[in-house]
């Protein structure tokens, strides 16, 4: 590797079509415990990075790694400005307490809404550029020359026209002491890392079992807990009989936690066995003992009212009356669960002077605050050790499981690792909201659409959190009120409709609900206008060149016009913009003779403006599509007498390898200053594309999810 030069590096990475990083020495600097501060001997150049005498560059990441690749993409911004040698990069999480003590030194450490890159990139650029200028100045001072005569490249500072150079490690100490002014970030044409497919720094630890997730934390003297919740949420606990389990091996305590019971034991299995054996008497809440058919009907009954009008243009009533023809369609999505593969867990140790929390969480600052509040400790005495996250998809931004673990730890006085069983994870979720939607449109005699109305009825996440919340929950209507189509006259209204179930964020939030209904109905509009869905969208978007570019490329790459081999196979399309990123999708779908269906292929075109790491970007789009596909095909929680029936992965089906279609991703990047999100936008757009394709084959509209309700099998 000694002759591995920068040029070779560029050649290898820029020709790599995802993962051809031959000879890339990844193993040495892998990270298993991102929360553990590295022992450093070198100076901190600024809050974001330390340079060690051996040239290692330690970069701090202030967002949570849950699979989306931030632990790699964010350091790329710093390394690029720093002109660092990427092989010397090491990462760790930024310190939550330090950030709190120093007025949010690391900015918001919340990871949400696909915003990690767009939120932090300017700060990352500046941190890298500032450090680079310091290193140049320090080297220049060492040589007794002007910084203007020096430049930085690949981990060293050079003098113009001279072979003289100094490694960053050699000048780091001085660099930490000098001052620099008027630091400028690079112009994009000089980027050396950004835009290059770069393997993830967290991969090595994730192939040898060494990556530490919350559930893997081991603390001396730790005990385990598991929790039972009333399967009818919100009904409460009557009593339990601890005496029945107190003599079971390892059992320590059983605790009442409001609506729940915690069983504490020496090992998790002992806790779980005891919890299974514990006689628990739940309170009954007749009002909550409801069935999803009833709940669904109540959502639809709201259509008899007008809802709260959010936006309106034109004389809707008159236009509807004057229409030659009107069409009306109702859409519906059930509650669905996030099902991160790592069940929810949290490890807490509360002591007199401090509390420690080991957890995989999207919002470590909120964890710190809530534990401080509960324990009465100063937030500065609450130490959150954020672990690798074994999937979140929104679920691990909720504090419910952190609060429970903290309550148990406060009672027990020893470090406690609380693990929800998969069954509790499924039954006590914060689910993607249920929603019903009614669309209506009018057409004139020439089949031109003249007016469209929409009334959405959706469970509000904000109202679950705060019963005093008023107004329309923006998350309920995202993707509707900001739709891009040029409708001549329209009205969009909304009704909030909560139930006893608990809703929460789900990858792509309200977009996945609203894009399903909207994009299916746009296909219905096209049919009523007797136009092809692709052509019709282009007509509605005729003044939006960014959209048209994506649709043109999508049409070409998906071979949209090509006649498919059989009349049992067809393509369907959808497009949706969310989190600053437009995704257009064409799916090729086959209806099988035996009453089943399969998705053969997905072609996606993405415009997120710019891409930091094309490798992880592609992974996010593919993963996002498949996550959405899983929910579109299977996602459904059945409410029976108030409880959720699907309590594990045998009854709650998810996508597996044999059902995974070929996925092809293309980029139509509009560039400029725009950096859209990538974790979620693809998730929102897949369901309507599948349903629109199925309609082309069968002539039947699918207006509710999941697709599994309409087909016997899914291949």
Partner 1 sequence: MRLNVNDEDVEVDVDPDTPLLWVLRDHLNLTGTKYGCGIGACGACTVLMNGHPIRSCSTTAEASKGYNIQTIEGLSENASHPVQQAWIEGDVPQCGYCQSGMIMTAVALLNEKANPTDEEINDAMTNICRCGTYSRIRAAIRKVAQERAAS
Query: Which of 88, 200, 229, 537 is close enough to bind partner 1 by CB under 8 A?
Result: 200
Q: In this structure, what DSSP letter does residue 660 have?
A: P
Contact 502, 431 (CB under 8 A): yes
What are residue 225's phi and psi, to 5 degrees? -135, 150
Query: Which of 54, 164, 177, 208 is close enough to bind partner 1 by CB under 8 A?
Result: 208
Query: Which of 203, 219, 366, 410 is close enough to bind partner 1 by CB under 8 A?
Result: 203
Q: How far apart are CA 120 and CA 63, in angstroms?
A: 9
**203 or 645: whose CB is closer to partner 1?**
203
221 part of the interface to partner 1, by CB under 8 A = no
**161 or 209: whose CB is closer to partner 1?**
209
20 part of the interface to partner 1, by CB under 8 A = yes
Q: Give the total of residues touching partner 1 (CB under 8 A).
A: 68
**293 or 662: whose CB is closer to partner 1?**
662
User: SS3 of 602, please?
Assistant: strand
Q: How far is CA 621 from CA 269, 552, 664, 676, in A?
A: 38, 19, 10, 12
199 part of the interface to partner 1, by CB under 8 A = yes
603 part of the interface to partner 1, by CB under 8 A = no
**203 or 669: whose CB is closer to partner 1?**
203
The CB-of-615 to partner 1 minimum distance in angstroms stands at 6
Which residue stretch of 154-162, 211-219, 325-333, 486-494 sits at the interface with partner 1 (rule: CB under 8 A)?
A: 211-219
The CB-of-151 to partner 1 minimum distance in angstroms stands at 32
19 part of the interface to partner 1, by CB under 8 A = yes
Tokens of 175: 């660099």
**387 or 436: whose CB is closer to partner 1?**
387
The CB-of-628 to partner 1 minimum distance in angstroms stands at 9
600 part of the interface to partner 1, by CB under 8 A = no
Query: Which of 181, 207, 445, 565 is close enough to bind partner 1 by CB under 8 A?
Result: 207
**445 or 657: whose CB is closer to partner 1?**
657
N-terminal to C-terminal alpha carbon distance within the chain: 46
**210 or 294: whose CB is closer to partner 1?**
210
Contact 573, 692 (CB under 8 A): yes
Q: How far apart are CA 47 and CA 98, in angstroms?
A: 10
**Which segments of 218-350 does DSSP mark as H helices, in order?**
268-277, 292-301, 316-322
**9 or 331: whose CB is closer to partner 1?**
9
Query: Which of 146, 267, 294, 713 is close enough to bind partner 1 by CB under 8 A?
Result: 267
- The H or E element containing residue 601 is strand 597-607
655 part of the interface to partner 1, by CB under 8 A = yes
Query: Which of 341, 378, 447, 709 is close enough to bind partner 1 by CB under 8 A?
Result: 341
Which residue stretch of 168-176, 207-215, 364-372, 561-569 sits at the interface with partner 1 (rule: CB under 8 A)?
A: 207-215
For 121-186, give the DSSP string.
HHHHHHHHHHHHHHHHHHHHHHHTS-GGGEEEETTEEEETTSS-EEEHHHHHHHHTTS---S--PP
CA 625 centroid distance within chain? 12
- The H or E element containing residue 630 is helix 614-634
Count helices and strands (H / E) in the chain.
Answer: 18, 27
What are residue 709's phi and psi, to 5 degrees? -65, -15
Q: How far apart are CA 48 and CA 204, in angstroms?
A: 23
CA 591 centroid distance within chain? 31
69 part of the interface to partner 1, by CB under 8 A = yes
Query: Which of 127, 215, 370, 513 is close enough to bind partner 1 by CB under 8 A?
Result: 215
626 part of the interface to partner 1, by CB under 8 A = yes
Query: Which of 4, 6, 12, 26 is close enough to bind partner 1 by CB under 8 A?
Result: 26
**301 or 662: whose CB is closer to partner 1?**
662
363 part of the interface to partner 1, by CB under 8 A = no
Contact 360, 213 (CB under 8 A): yes
Query: Which of 22, 163, 181, 445 is close enough to bind partner 1 by CB under 8 A?
Result: 22
**421 or 495: whose CB is closer to partner 1?**
421
Tokens of 59: 């970069």
The CB-of-155 to partner 1 minimum distance in angstroms stands at 23
Query: Which of 50, 51, 58, 212 is close enough to bind partner 1 by CB under 8 A?
Result: 212
Query: Which of 5, 14, 27, 713 is close enough to bind partner 1 by CB under 8 A?
Result: 27
**563 or 656: whose CB is closer to partner 1?**
656
Query: Which of 436, 513, 517, 615 is close enough to bind partner 1 by CB under 8 A?
Result: 615
Beta bridge partners of 448: none
User: Rounded to the nearest 10 degrees, what angle do helices 681-698 and 614-634 cross at?
Assistant: 50
The CB-of-267 to partner 1 minimum distance in angstroms stands at 5
Q: How far apart are CA 631 and CA 707, in angstroms?
A: 9
443 part of the interface to partner 1, by CB under 8 A = no
Query: Which of 391, 479, 509, 706 is close enough to bind partner 1 by CB under 8 A?
Result: 391
The CB-of-36 to partner 1 minimum distance in angstroms stands at 15
Q: How far apart are CA 662 and CA 101, in angstroms?
A: 49
Q: Which residues contact 204 (CB under 8 A, 6 or more apart)?
A: 26, 27, 30
The CB-of-343 to partner 1 minimum distance in angstroms stands at 7
355 part of the interface to partner 1, by CB under 8 A = no
HEC per residue, 372-440:
HHHHCCCHHHEEEEECECCCCCCHHHCCHHHHHHHHHHHHHCCCEEEECCHHHHHHCCCEECCEEEEEE
The CB-of-224 to partner 1 minimum distance in angstroms stands at 8
Q: Where does this chain bind partner 1 (CB under 8 A)? A: 18-22, 26-27, 66-69, 199-200, 202-213, 215-216, 218, 224, 249, 267-269, 339-343, 388-393, 419, 421-422, 615-616, 619, 622-627, 630, 648-650, 654-658, 660, 662-663
């Amino acid at each position: 590797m000694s002759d591995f030069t920068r040029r070779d590096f560029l050649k290898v990475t820029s020709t790599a079509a995802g993962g051809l990083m031959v000879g890339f020495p990844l193993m040495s600097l892998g990270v298993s415990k991102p929360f553990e501060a590295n022992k450093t001997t070198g100076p901190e150049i600024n809050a974001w990075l330390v340079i060690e005498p051996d040239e290692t560059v330690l970069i701090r990441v202030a967002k949570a790694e849950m699979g989306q690749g931030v632990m790699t993409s964010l350091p790329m911004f710093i390394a690029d400005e720093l002109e660092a040698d990427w092989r010397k990069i090491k990462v760790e999480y930024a310190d939550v307490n330090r950030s709190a003590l120093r007025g949010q030194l690391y900015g918001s450490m919340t990871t949400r809404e696909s915003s990690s890159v767009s939120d932090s990139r300017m700060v990352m650029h500046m941190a890298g550029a500032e450090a680079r200028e310091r290193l140049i100045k320090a080297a220049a001072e060492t040589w007794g020359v002007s910084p203007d005569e020096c430049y930085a490249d690949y981990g060293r500072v050079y003098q113009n026209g001279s072979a003289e150079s100094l490694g960053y490690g050699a000048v780091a100490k001085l660099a930490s002491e000098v001052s620099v002014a008027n630091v400028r970030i690079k112009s994009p044409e000089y980027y050396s890392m950004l835009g290059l497919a770069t393997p993830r720094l967290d991969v090595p630890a994730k192939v040898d079992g060494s990556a530490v997730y919350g559930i893997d934390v081991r603390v001396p003297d730790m005990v385990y807990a598991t929790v039972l919740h009333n399967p009818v949420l919100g009904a409460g606990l009557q009593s339990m009989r601890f005496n029945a389990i107190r003599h079971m091996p390892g059992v320590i305590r059983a605790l009442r936690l409001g609506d729940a019971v915690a069983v504490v034991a020496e090992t998790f299995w002992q806790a779980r066995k005891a919890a299974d054996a514990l006689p628990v008497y739940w309170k009954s809440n007749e009002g909550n003992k409801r069935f999803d058919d009833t709940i669904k009907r109540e959502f639809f009954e709201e259509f008899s009212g007008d809802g709260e009008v959010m936006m309106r243009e034109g004389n809707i009533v008159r236009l509807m009356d004057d229409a030659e023809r009107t069409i009306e369609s109702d859409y519906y999505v059930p509650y669905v669960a996030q099902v991160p593969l790592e069940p929810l867990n949290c490890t807490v140790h509360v002591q007199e002077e401090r509390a420690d929390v080991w957890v995989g969480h999207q919002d470590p600052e909120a964890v710190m605050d809530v534990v401080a509040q509960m324990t009465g400790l100063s937030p500065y005495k609450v130490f959150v050790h954020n672990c690798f996250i074994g999937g979140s998809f929104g679920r691990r931004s909720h504090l419910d499981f952190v609060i429970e673990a903290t309550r148990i730890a406060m009672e027990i006085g020893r470090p406690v690792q609380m693990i929800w069983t998969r069954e509790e994870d499924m039954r006590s979720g914060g689910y993607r909201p249920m929603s019903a939607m009614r669309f209506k449109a009018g057409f004139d005699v020439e089949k031109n659409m003249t007016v469209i109305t929409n009334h959405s009825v959706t469970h509000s996440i904000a109202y679950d959190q705060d019963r005093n919340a008023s107004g329309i929950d923006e998350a309920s209507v995202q993707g509707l009120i900001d739709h891009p189509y040029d409708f001549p006259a329209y009205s969009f209204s909304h009704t909030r409709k909560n139930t006893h179930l608990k809703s929460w964020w789900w990858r792509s939030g309200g977009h996945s609900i609203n894009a399903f209904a909207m994009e299916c109905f746009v296909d219905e509009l096209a049919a009523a206008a007797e136009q092809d869905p692709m052509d019709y969208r282009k007509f509605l978007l005729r003044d939006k060149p960014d959209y048209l570019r994506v649709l043109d490329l999508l049409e070409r790459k998906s071979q949209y016009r090509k006649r498919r081999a059989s009349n049992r196979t067809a393509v369907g399309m959808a497009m949706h913009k969310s989190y600053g990123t437009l995704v257009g999708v064409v799916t090729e779908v086959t209806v099988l003779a035996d009453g089943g269906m399969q998705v053969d292929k997905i072609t996606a075109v993405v415009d997120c403006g710019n891409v930091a790491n094309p490798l992880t970007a592609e992974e996010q789009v593919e993963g996002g599509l498949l996550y959405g596909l899983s929910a579109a095909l299977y996602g459904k929680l059945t409410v029976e007498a108030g409880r959720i029936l699907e309590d594990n992965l045998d009854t709650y089906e998810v996508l597996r390898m044999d059902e995974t279609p070929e996925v092809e991703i293309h980029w139509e990047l509009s560039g400029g200053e725009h950096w859209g999100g990538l974790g979620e936008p693809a998730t929102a757009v897949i369901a309507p594309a599948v349903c629109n394709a199925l309609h082309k084959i069968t002539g039947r509209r699918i207006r509710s999810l999941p697709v599994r309700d309409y087909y016997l099998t899914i291949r």
